Structure 1
Amino acid sequence: MNSFFDPSTTSLKVCGITLAEDAQRLVSEGIAALGVNFWPKSKRFIAPAKAAEFLPALKGQILRVGVFVNAEPQQVLELLKNDIIDVAQFHGDESPEYCRAFAEAGHAFIRALGVKNADSISNLLDYQATAILLDAHAPGVYGGTGDTFDWNLAQKVVAENPELPILLAGGITSENAEQATRAVRPAGLDLASGSESSPGIKDFEKIRAIQAGIRAAG
């Protein structure tokens, strides 16, 4: 399993990559994972064909995560099998049955859950996910809002599932990355809006500050 999924330490995933040069700079900065958003309604959407122009060359240098919202399984499988991405992230209304088909086929995937209250995450083990991503509840938007949620709920999930990689998203910035890491101790922080100057364009001063915050949290 990729070290990004190690629950004993906190890594960084920068999501919403739209430019090949930003992807390469993430590798140079030693970032553990990047995300590309294949949901057409996202402000950070990238067409699979465009992503295929630069992601294959990054294999083994950074974990390549494809973000999907209620996609046809065949689209996801093609990108996995063609080695465009390493891991799928399901960020929509995908059912446990939808997700378990990928688990049974041996594909690593992240299931993102919008956290409104404790009930929102009561069935997280049903998905048989490689990792669970906890994000702010954003109906119809599916993440990238810059909103936070109650980190006490996330900390409880981490404490109750010590072997399951839990990723934390939702309103994390250079200003609160250290606090988020200390409070939750997730396997990873996942940022989109908090790592950019405009949707899909990354700000590497912010990214370096976020890394520094994670390191400061120990």
Structure 2
Amino acid sequence: MGLLTHSLGRTRVKICGLRTSADIDAAVAAGVDAVGFVFYPPSIRAVSPPVAAQLITRLPAGIDAVGLVVNATNTEFAAIKSLAPITLWQFHGDESPERCMELAAGMPWIKAARVGQDFAFGEFSLQYRQANAFLLDALVEGYGGGGVPFDWQGIPQTWVSENALRVVLSGGLNTHNVGEAIARLHPCAVDVSSGVEISRGVKDPVLMAEFVKAVRAADE
């Protein structure tokens, strides 16, 4: 189990932006491999470290608690780390490779790429080669959670082949398009947030279950 554990023919699933006990319970019931906690106050999906700590106690062993941070200061990061038992870090801002490694301090970490036109995939993966995974998200105003897909066809096939075991695909995924995304790219994992919401920031247990089912159907 866990987001970055590779199993042949099984795409891992992360649901991000969970804020309530009901969210956590629904995600676990749906069969996710990881849940994401947003530690970025401007986001409508943000949670405080104490709330995240409480929510993480509801997670069974084997499900990753992913901490999403955006250009966090040392003080902010220390506050999260001291309270919330995060198992995997997601750096979603403009953090340098050195900054990511400094903050992660030996723990596994993901670097998010905001993919726009002419994004340099090779340069990005070389720069962040120490990352355990690359999360591909759409280039939108702000940082993530825009529900906007990017052009998957623009990802070089050679890059996909070389990095598939480290690719976490995000950006506008939902029940209707995740199957196509998996068939085209065969990523290690997929990550959804707004695609399983009934309104902005409000998760829907039915959509969460349907999303995981769609992923499993694509795997088969």
After TM superposition, the score normalised by the length of structure 2 is 0.87
In 2, Cα distance between equivalents of 1:59 and 1:75: 27
C-alpha change, 1:186 and 1:73, in structure 2 (3 Å) is farther
1:124 Cα offset (Å): 2.2
- Asked if the contact 2:66/2:88 (under 8 Å) is kept, the reply is yes
Cα deviations by residue, 1:70-97 (Å, 9 ceiling, x for unpaired): 0014533553455521111111111122
Please identify runs of 4+ aligned residues in structure 1 that moved more than 6 A.
none
In 2, Cα distance between equivalents of 1:61 and 1:42: 27
Cα deviations by residue, 1:186-206 (Å, 9 ceiling, x for unpaired): 111111100111233211222
Q: Report what 1:113 is aligned to.
A: 113
Q: Which amino acid aligns with 2:38?
A: N
C-alpha change, 1:102 and 1:59, in structure 2 (3 Å) is farther
Which runs of 5 or more residues in structure 1 are unaligned? Answer: none
Q: Report what 1:43 is aligned to.
A: 44
Alignment of 1:147-162 (within 5 A): 147-154=148-155, 156=157, 157-162=159-164
Which runs of 5 or more residues in structure 2 are unaligned? Answer: none
Q: Report what 2:139 is aligned to.
A: 137
- Asked if the contact 1:113/1:120 (under 8 Å) is kept, the reply is no
After TM superposition, the score normalised by the length of structure 1 is 0.88
Cα deviations by residue, 1:37-95 (Å, 9 ceiling, x for unpaired): 11000111111122122213426242100111100145335534555211111111111
Task: Kindly report the root-mean-square deviation, in angstroms, between the aligned alpha carbons of the 2 structures.
Answer: 2.1
Q: Which amino acid aligns with 2:25?
A: Q
In 1, Cα distance between equivalents of 2:143 and 2:120: 14
1:29 Cα offset (Å): 2.0
1:118 Cα offset (Å): 4.3
Q: Which amino acid aligns with 2:152?
A: W
In 1, Cα distance between equivalents of 2:60 and 2:11: 21
Q: Report what 2:77 is aligned to.
A: 76
